[in-house]
Structure 1
Amino acid sequence: MAILHPFKALRPVSEKASEVACVPYDVIDSEEARYLAEGKPLSFLHVIRPEIDLPEGTSEYDDAVYALGAENLRSYQHSAFSEQDSEPSVYVYELEMDGRTQSGVFACVSTQDYDQDVILKHERTRLAKEDDRTRHIMEQEAHAEPVMLTYRDDDATLALMAEARRQDPLYNITFDDGVRHTIWRAPDADAFVAAFRDIPRLYVADGHHRCKAASRAAAEIGTADPEARFFPAVLFPLSEVVILPYNRVIHSVPRGPASFLEELKARFDLEPDADPVPVEKGRISLYLDGTWYGMALPAAAPGASLVDHLDVGRLTHALLEPMLGITDPRTDPNIDFVGGIRGTGALEQRVNSGESDMAISMYATDIKELVDVSDAGLLMPPKSTWFEPKLRSGFLVHLFGKKS
């Protein structure tokens, strides 16, 4: 059964929340973070992307970056722009994008549940990224950003969230991207804790590296600080979650785009002038030589695993491995990934500019596929899911150690 842990959030004073809250660290690079934070001294990017306050070209893994992140968090914590709740609390976080809302429970979850597979993963993590996030946690004595989890719909938690939304919100902000973020403090934290005891499994949607880093930090700290055994998450019922496609671009195709197109036509039935967005599972759209081509992916072989039945798995076996020699998309420099929120226009731009030879527009993975793969103890290929809208960082921060 899932452990839900109320916490005393460090959060911005209401009148400054729109200046503090920012996009998560892993959807932007250092250059983009520097641009977004320009002229915004309160932006939480100074905590989660502290290299922006060091000379350009400073590696995000430089010792000075971790020290500055901790210093920036301390400065924010002791400033007039933040406050900390006096009692451990549970919160409700609602996102609204394009007229659609989704609501989740914002609280801490347990590293014990993560280690014992109550919280199930669907993606392999990379050691360098684990190391980076773990060091930030250890030096800041904080979990600065929440992860996104999901769980099977439950009447009790839905009713409790509805009750919380009848309170006055702590924050209700619409950012420049048009997404509205509303957060309430729940009136009865214990009721949420009790309700989640009846939830058998939680699933990582977004934030695998933050989960793993929280687990590693808790193991390193040990029994010295019980609060470090918990990390913040927003938990959404499955029916509330939307997955967008995670598209691919290939930097270089063998013998050039024209010759590669002929090879594709020899193997597959390509439909020219196709819709850039595949209309159903099992189909992809390819962009090369200035034209979109529709293509049906070959079915998985009899006896194939759940992963091989995914469109991303079928793509690997039909095209990436045999025609491009890409056996490990996680590490191969010839493939890159573009979140579906950027649209197919971003794929065309990458090819038309000469940066890439070919773009692959995918059909979105279904949330049920994610759950089925996780329940089976399997892992999806990298970049199989893109969740939107994204949580903002800086609204509610979990402190431990001396900072708490």
Structure 2
Amino acid sequence: MPRIIPFKAVRPTRSKVGLVASRPYESYTAEERESRMHYNPFSFLHIINPGYKFDQVITGEERYRLVKNRYLEFKEEDVFLQDEKPSFYVYKIINRDNFEFSGIIALAHAEDYENNLIKKHEDTLKQREETFKTYLQNVGFNAEPVLVTHKDNQIVSDLIKQVQTQFADYEFTMTYRDTHYLWKLEDEDIIVKIQQEFKNIGVFYIADGHHRCASSHLLYLEEKSKNPIHTGTEPYNYFMCFFLPESHLRIYEFNRLIKDLNGLTTKEFLIRLDEYYKIENFGKKPFQPSNMHEFSMYLEGEYYALKLRLSKYEFISSLDHLDAHILFKTVLQPILGINDLRQDKRIEYANGRYDVYKLKSMVDNGEFKLSFGLFPTNINQVKAIADEGLTMPPKSTYILPKLRSGLTIYEF
């Protein structure tokens, strides 16, 4: 059974938590990062981008050493303090759309990932795994939890609600208009009850953070191999997760934007599409898919509905039912010649929180030739693919919540 373990988090002081916590580094534009770091000396961005202090880009192991230095400075200046007792951290986000995400920040064991009790649905890139493993070895901490989902459990939900009736250790709103709450849970009786219920749950699924999870596992394997008295309880065995019930997860689609028709005329392209799809021209009237195996397409100022001809497509595995995979196998690869969804410069992605008019404008301004809109994947599809040991194409899901760095930190 998968384990969920309390830990002594390093956390920002209550007065500075709203200043410290940041979105993932890559989610900011260069201008946004510059602005936040210029005006906010407490942002966690100063730790993960230590070259800012020297007005230069620093990479590799030199950067890792400076990351550790900036982190230690934050501790020395009492921006961060460590809790004295192992705890769970009940965490709630209410986002700007008024969705609530309530779960528990705790540790998972790398062995449970190895034994497929924490299941993945995405492929990871070995180079990124190795890079982040080296980063972890040098800095010695996790600053952003892996988002892990699990089936709902009423007892755990009731215990979380019980904790949330108390005064929160943190309550703050970010400029992104998400409000964050955190409660430190030290009560050993409640911790044991939650651990027991998680044993009954049986299996977890990675929702977001596949590379961080894989890199933590690599670190565990390497440190274990170097330790002749390995017990399985050393700090390197664990990595930090936010355990969230699947009913609290929000899954959006990633839509596809394409640069050209691969040398085809519009008529030739539509004729090729007709092999697999019933095509309906909606003209200027926007169309959004409302069911699985439906796609919207915007091309040359007109909207189209594409409905998969079920008799022409073979469903064998759970992956074959995934719309992102269907579009790849029937259109992107055979017609448009896009074979590598990660590297091909002719395709880009827009998450489903963008409306149809955003996609329309990106085509109308000449940046792209056409766009495809998808119907969102659901959690049961994600779980089925993970259970079969399969992986989704890149950018199949855009999952909320997006977590903050520097809110809770696990040192190992």
- Same fold by TM (over 0.5)? yes
Q: Which amino acid aligns with 1:142?
A: F
Alignment map for 1:289-300 (pairs within 5 Å): 289-299=300-310
1:398 corresponds to:
410
Aligned to 2:170: 171
Preserved contact between residue 106 and residue 242 of structure 2 (Cα < 8 Å): yes
Pair 129,301 (structure 1): closer, same or farther in 2 beyond 3 Å:
same
- Structure 1 residue 266: Cα displacement: 5.2
Confirm whether residue 158 of structure 1 aligns to residue 189 of structure 2: no
**2:261–2:269 CA contact under 8 A, matched in 1:** no
The correspondence for 1:286, drawn from 274, 285, 297, is 297
Distance 1:346 1:28, change over 3 A: farther
Q: CA deviation at 1:396?
A: 0.3
Alpha carbons of 1:305 and 1:265: their partners in 2 closer, same or farther (altered >3 Å)?
Answer: closer
Aligned to 2:18: 18
For 2:104, the equivalent position in structure 1 comes to: 105
Deviations for 1:219-262, whole angstroms, at most 9, x for unmatched residues?
22224781111111111111111101112222333237746654
Q: Does residue 192 of the first structure (1) align with residue 194 of the second (2)?
A: yes
Query: Separation in 2 of the partners of 1:221 and 1:257?
Result: 57
**Identity score, percent:** 29
Question: Aligned-pair distance for 1:129?
Answer: 1.9
The 5 Å alignment of 1:61-210 reads 61-97=59-95, 98-186=97-185, 187=187, 188-210=190-212
Q: Helix, strand or coil for the counterpart of 1:253? A: coil
For each residue in 1:41-98, what CA deviation from the matched residue of structure 2 results, as whole angstroms up to 9, or x when unmatched? Answer: 2111223344555646x37x53333222222212122222121100111011111122
Q: 1:146 to 1:242 in 2, by over 3 A?
A: same
Q: What amino acid sits opposite 1:319 in the alignment? A: V
Structure-2 change in CA distance of 1:350 and 1:69 (3 Å): farther
Q: Per-residue deviation at 1:211? A: 0.2
Compute the displacement of 1:337 (Å).
Answer: 1.9
Conserved in 2, the CA contact under 8 Å of 1:94 and 1:182?
Answer: yes
Whole-Å separation in 2 of the counterparts to 1:297 and 1:31: 42
2:330 maps to which of 318, 323, 326: 318
Distance 1:341 1:302, change over 3 A: closer
Q: Which amino acid aligns with 2:213?
A: C
Contact 2:273/2:331 (<8 A) preserved: no
Q: Residue 90 of structure 2 contacts residue 184 of structure 2 at CA under 8 Å; is this kept in 1? A: yes
Deviations 1:132-165 (CA, angstroms, capped at 9, x unpaired): 3212211110011101000111122112211211
Give yes or no for contact 2:249–2:401 (8 Å, CA) kept in 1. Answer: no
* Unpaired runs of at least 5, structure 2: none
Query: Is the aligned partner of 1:382 residue 2:394?
Result: yes
Corresponding residue to 1:230 among 230, 238, 255: 238
Greater CA deviation, 39-48 or 186-195? 186-195
Quick one: distance in 2 between partners of 1:52 and 1:281?
A: 46
Structure 1 residues 55 and 357: CA distance shift in structure 2, 3 A: farther
Q: Secondary structure at the match of 1:38?
A: helix
Matches within 5 A, 1:355-370: 355-370=367-382
Q: What is the TM-score when the length of structure 2 is the normalising length? A: 0.89
2-structure distance, mates of 1:84, 1:44:
16
Q: Is the 8 A contact 2:46 2:70 kept in 1?
A: yes
Distance across 1 between alignment mates of 2:400 and 2:92 = 13
Q: Deviations over 1:160-211 (max 9, x none)?
A: 2112112211111122222111111123333322322222100000000000
Question: Is residue 297–residue 311 contact of structure 1 (8 Å, CA) maintained in 2?
Answer: no
Aligned position for 2:280: 270
CA contact (8 A) 2:143 2:407 kept: no
Alpha-carbon distance in 1 for matches of 2:102, 2:271: 47
| 26 and 160 in structure 1: CA distance in 2 versus 1, 3 angstrom threshold | farther
Indicate conservation of the 8 Å contact 1:257/1:289, yes or no: no
Distance 1:75 1:251, change over 3 A: farther
**Structure 1 residues 33, 130: CA separation in 2 closer, same or farther (over 3 Å shift)?**
farther
Matches for 1:343-362 after TM superposition, within 5 Å: 343-362=355-374
Q: Taking structure 1 as reference, are residues 26 and 192 closer, same or farther at Cα in structure 2, changes over 3 Å only?
A: farther
- Partners of 1:254 and 1:292 lie apart in 2 by 20
Residue 320 of structure 1 and its aligned partner are, at CA, apart by 0.6
Contact 1:274-1:285 within 8 A present in 2 as well = no
Change (3 A) 1:265 1:147: closer
Residue type of the partner of 1:39?
A: Y
Q: Which residue of 2 aligns with 1:254?
A: 262
Q: Is the radius of gyration larger for structure 1 or structure 2? A: 2
1:220 aligned residue (219, 222, 225): 222
Q: State the alpha-carbon separation in 2 of the partners of residues 366 and 67 from structure 1.
A: 41
C-alpha contact 1:93 1:182 (8 A) present in aligned 2 = yes
Contact kept in structure 2, 1:153 and 1:238, CA below 8 Å: yes
| Count of residue correspondences | 398
| Segment drifting more, 14-23 vs 252-261 | 252-261
Secondary structure class of the residue paired with 1:75: helix
1:34 and 1:130 map into 2 onto residues whose CA distance is 27
Q: Unaligned 5+ residue runs, structure 1?
A: none
Residue equivalent to 1:42: 42
Whether the aligned pair in 2 keeps the contact of 1:297 and 1:318 (CA below 8 Å) is: no
- The one-letter code matched in structure 2 to 1:215 is H
Could you tell me which of 333, 354, 358 is aligned with 2:345?
A: 333
Per-residue CA deviation, residues 251-280 of structure 1 (Å, 9 max, x unaligned), is 333237746654566554133235353222
SS for the counterpart of 1:94 is strand
* Structure 1 residues 361 and 83: alpha-carbon distance in aligned structure 2, compared to 1, 3 A threshold: same
Alpha-carbon distance between aligned partners in 2 of 1:220 and 1:359, rounded to the nearest angstrom: 44
